[in-house]
């Protein structure tokens, strides 16, 4: 049936929170759960600075819980791209996000492989003077560094943030973790660099591939002319199939990746196969007997 007309106020918001939780957990009606969460947040009433004064009241807890349920429902519907903008329509700026909401957003975007989404929002929250006294600051700083900055290779930014926000007892461990991550990152880049450079800058391999490609194209042209001129001879059908399959392999290996030296051995085999097919076409010895 039609949902009731909800009057604004914390009591209605709490009732909507309960409905949203039931829809999420028991009925798995995620779209309806998001609607209840939105109605609950709207019933609390927006306003500049309103979220900050709510942190010491039950209003803040209800609103935060509504957003937590809404985040989970959006994620269940694979609408995770909307999560950050969805919560910001109720908190307006990242600095006003409750710690629990910020934590869920960081975990969500890290889990789906998009940590850069939280790069600006998380940094703004951690640097905001009003959040420096919150007890969750240290845990959120550690989470933000591990799940956002380090996977993106922002090592210098991570060190600056830790020195500016972390407590004295936390700085040493976090800076050590940043240094270890930087070393692993640089070592991985060094290991990948030779193979990538070899693929891009091996002139000898590229020149050999160019010559072979030209030879294969020339041989293919000759074979196609010969087959066209002798198309009325049925004994050539097996060779046509073989040449067609060989040509398809040639397209995949040579034409699609002409700069890859790993394809050289296979290209030599293709050349030999073309030569054998060409000899078979020209040699009368391979002609099968005519069936009466």
Predicted pLDDT of residue 266: 47
**Which range among 46-60, 164-178, 196-210, 247-261 shows the weakest confidence by mean pLDDT?**
247-261
Does 3 have pLDDT greater than 50?
no
- The average pLDDT across 252-279 equals 49
pLDDT at 196 over 60: no
How far apart are alpha carbons 239 and 227 in whole angstroms?
Answer: 9
Res 156: pLDDT: 96
pLDDT at 48 over 80: no
For residue 124, is it within any domain?
Answer: yes
* Residue 120 located in a structural domain: yes
Question: What's the pLDDT score for residue 191?
Answer: 84
**Residue 150 tokens, joined:** 């380090």
DSSP for the chain, please give it. -PPP-PPSSHHHHHHHHHHHHHHHHTS--HHHHHHHHHHHHHHH---TTHHHHHTTSHHHHHHHHHHHHHHHHHHHTT-GGGHHHHHHHHHSSGGGS-HHHHHHHHHHHHHTT-GGGGHHHHHHHHH-GGGTT-TTHHHHHHHHIIIIITTTT-HHHHHHHHHHHS-HHHHHHHHHHHHHHHHHHHHHHHHHHHHHHHHHS-HHHHHHHHHHHHHHHHHHHHHHHHHHHTTT-GGGHHHHHHHHHHHHHHIIIIIS-TT-GGGHHHHHHHHHHHHHHHHHHH-GGGPPPPP-
Q: Is residue 24 part of a domain?
A: yes
CA end-to-end span of the chain: 83
Q: Classify residue 277: in a domain, yes or no.
A: no
pLDDT digits (tens, 9 = 90+) for 79-137: 999 999 999 999 999 999 999 999 999 999 999 999 999 999 999 999 999 999 999 99
Share of the chain above pLDDT 70, in %: 59
Residue 271 lies in a domain: no
CA 113/CA 99 separation, integer angstroms: 21
- What mean pLDDT do residues 187-200 have? 69
pLDDT band at 71 (very low <50, low <70, confident <90, very high): very high
Percent of the chain with pLDDT over 90: 50
Residue 54: pLDDT band by 50, 70, 90 thresholds?
A: very low
What pLDDT, on a 0 to 100 scale, did the predictor assign at position 236?
Answer: 47
If we measure between CA atoms, which residue out of 214, 216, 217, 238 comes closest to residue 227? 238
Indicate if the pLDDT at residue 212 is higher than 50. no
pLDDT for 192 equals 80
How many residues does the structure list for the chain? 292
User: Which CATH number do you get for residue 141?
Assistant: 1.25.40
Q: Is 264's pLDDT higher than 70?
A: no
As for how many domains the chain has, the answer is 1
- Provide the token pair at 14: 């709490």
Burial profile 151-182: b = 16 or more Cβ within 10 angstroms, e = fewer = eeebbebbbebbeebbeeebeeebbebbeebb
- Indicate whether 238 pLDDT > 50: yes
**Is residue 27 assigned to a domain?**
yes
Q: For residue 230, is it within any domain?
A: no
Mean pLDDT taken over the chain: 76
Q: What is the mean pLDDT of residues 231-240?
A: 49
pLDDT of residue 220: 55
Q: Is 3 or 159 the better-scoring residue by pLDDT? A: 159
Domain span holding position 115: 8-192
């Amino acid at each position: 049936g039609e949902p009731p007309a909800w009057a604004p106020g914390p009591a209605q918001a709490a009732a909507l929170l309960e409905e949203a939780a039931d829809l999420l957990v028991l009925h798995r009606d995620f779209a309806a759960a998001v609607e209840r969460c939105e109605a609950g947040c709207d019933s609390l009433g927006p306003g500049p600075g309103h979220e900050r004064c709510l942190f010491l009241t039950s209003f803040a807890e209800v609103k935060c819980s509504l957003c937590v349920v809404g985040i989970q429902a959006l994620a269940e519907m694979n609408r995770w791209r909307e999560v950050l903008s969805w919560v910001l329509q109720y908190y307006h700026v990242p600095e006003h996000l409750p710690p629990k909401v910020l934590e869920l957003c960081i975990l969500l975007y890290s889990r789906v492989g998009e940590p850069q989404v939280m790069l600006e929002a998380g940094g703004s929250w951690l640097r905001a003077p009003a959040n420096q006294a919150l007890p969750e600051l240290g845990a959120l700083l550690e989470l933000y560094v591990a799940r956002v900055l380090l996977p993106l290779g922002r090592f210098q930014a991570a060190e600056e943030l830790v020195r500016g926000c972390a407590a004295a007892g936390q700085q040493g461990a976090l800076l050590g973790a940043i240094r270890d991550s930087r070393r692993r990152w640089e070592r991985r880049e060094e290991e990948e660099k030779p193979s990538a450079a070899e693929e891009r800058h091996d002139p000898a391999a590229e020149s050999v591939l160019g010559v072979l490609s030209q030879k294969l194209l020339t041989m293919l042209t000759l074979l196609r002319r010969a087959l066209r001129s002798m198309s009325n001879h049925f004994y050539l059908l097996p060779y046509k199939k073989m040449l067609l399959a060989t040509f398809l392999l040639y397209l995949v290996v040579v034409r699609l990746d002409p700069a890859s030296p790993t394809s050289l051995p296979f290209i030599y085999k293709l050349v030999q196969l073309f030569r054998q097919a060409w000899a078979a076409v020209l040699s009368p010895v391979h002609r099968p007997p005519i069936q009466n």
